[in-house]
Structure 1
Amino acid sequence: MDWSPAGVPGQNGRTALVTGGSGGLGLEVARLLAGRGAHVVLACRSTERGRAAAARIAGSTEVLPLDLASLDSVRRAADEVRHRHGRLDLLVNNAGVMFPSRPATDDGFESHFGVNHLGHFALTGLLLDLMHGVPGSRVVTVSSLAHRAGRGAPDASAARATSGHRSLHAYGRSKLANLMFARELERRLAAGGAETLSVAAHPGLSATALWQGEAPGWLRPVSRVALRLLAQPPERAAGPVLRAATDPLLRGGTYLGPGERFESRGAPAPAASSRVSRDTLAQVRLWELSETLTGVHYGLAPSRPAAGGPPAKAGG
């Protein structure tokens, strides 16, 4: 039987933080979680849009200023969460940029990589201790079908290669990093016996504001056709993220996406991923690079993958 949002269990007493919760997929995720009883922190770059989104949500919410393009902002946001809340049940790393006008973040990183990956890597590391010992706690990281366009594991040179910031390759590299991070985080959490799980999801194709950036010329007609034929509305596209956030039967390390039409739409199901995304040694290298670039150290024992790492099972 297909999973549907109607099957989401009650979230009473739980606190969830959703990055990019002011619109698109993030708003849909926040809306459902709050509707099931969770207190939802909308972490948004624009507090004005965050407040407008909160007004549209029936349930308990608050707005948190967060600019993932600034590690200083990430640290301030994490400090604010720690001041307001003694625990965190759910962290949804959803916000992202695609073909942004700014080539680099405040810290000099290529914008896709800096916002989509490094900002979330730092935020997760700064908040993770609020999830330790919390039953059912979970980190959900949103990747993309475009992770296959990443062309190899991200490295230090790619992190600062701002000249190609409007390419599909740069976006895909950041979403590949998201998926690799989610898997390495799960391995380290499991090795330490933590209750917190790390899972990942992608929404397939949805005509959200993410597509309003300055896409390469060759991609614009392709994307228009693909979105017209295959896209689903945000409330449907949010399904894999919602299931990743709330399904009590999921194992750590699971990767979900839509189950129909080449994973572009449909009900949530185990998703496939590229070979490099399953390379456990590359995941370790990315983790170590991310700690160096952000200055955020998790304190989790390194995982010990076999050379090359075993290929992940479907959904794992």
Structure 2
Amino acid sequence: MSGWLTEAVPRGRVAAFRTLVYLFVAADLVVFTPWVRTRVAVPGELYQPLLIGRLLPLPPPTPALVGVIFWALLLLALLAATGRAPRLLGFAVFALYLEWMIIAMSYGKVDHDRFGLLVALAALPTAGRARHGDPTRTEAGGWALRVTQIAVICTYFLAAWAKLRFGGLDWATGSVLAKAIIRRGTELADLIAQVPHLLIVAQFGILAFELLSPVVFVLPERWRLAAVGFFYSFHLVTIATITISFAPHLVAMTSFLPLERVRPVVWARRLLGRRPDAPGRNHDDATPAAPLTGPEPVVGPATP
């Protein structure tokens, strides 16, 4: 079991995952959850801290506190994305983002799509230094990715467990998706809803998919990647039909992918090296142009 938990992975994969996660944290502050800064304007009695907020205990949010967390987290997340000081910056980002989430989720609604991302933020600082493109393998990095994968799959499995615990089979046979389509459905969802019994079949399919999601860990690598591709397609359909985004969860799920193969800096350099006007390059195949050794080509009608 310990060998599976710490299965070594290339350091380049850890570096790519780290950069992606920290860049998402920065984007999350300004794109997905900027509304957290406005929560302090509502009446104070509406703030009901989560259990972790009561156990620590954390101070109630104020405009000054939330503003400091926002700017400090934005700056530190961008710095952490560079891979420098992975432990110091990593733990600082985790602590600040955890507080950001506690404030966000202490007003009556808790989103479960943040679980995998929070686990990734907690585990990444323990992976140590990692450089993009480095093929050497690391068990510490493997552990950080593995616990993130476990959190991702727990998000699915425990969601199914909650459905069965509170709704039973009535969740699958009821009108859950129909209500979601009425509230926030798209034109595509309206077309799907017209097919008889399709929504009921879809609800059974969602339950089966979530309950069987742990099987991904016992699949061969090729089939595991195919299963993860199915997970992403499921969320693509969810966004296209009922406009529910699981962006933090989707970022955490990249822990399953061979991210070391994605090297945008190298690709950009190669692309720039293949520009038609690059010196010493042939316009057709981006190989060095051969020097002219023969006579100049004839222009116009040839003469004997």
TM-score computed with the length of structure 2 as normaliser = 0.24
Q: Which protein has the bigger strand share?
A: 1
* Larger RCO (alpha carbons 8 Å, 6+ apart): 2
> TM-score, normalised on structure 1?
0.24
Higher Rg of the two aligned structures = 2
The answer to which structure has the higher helix fraction is 2
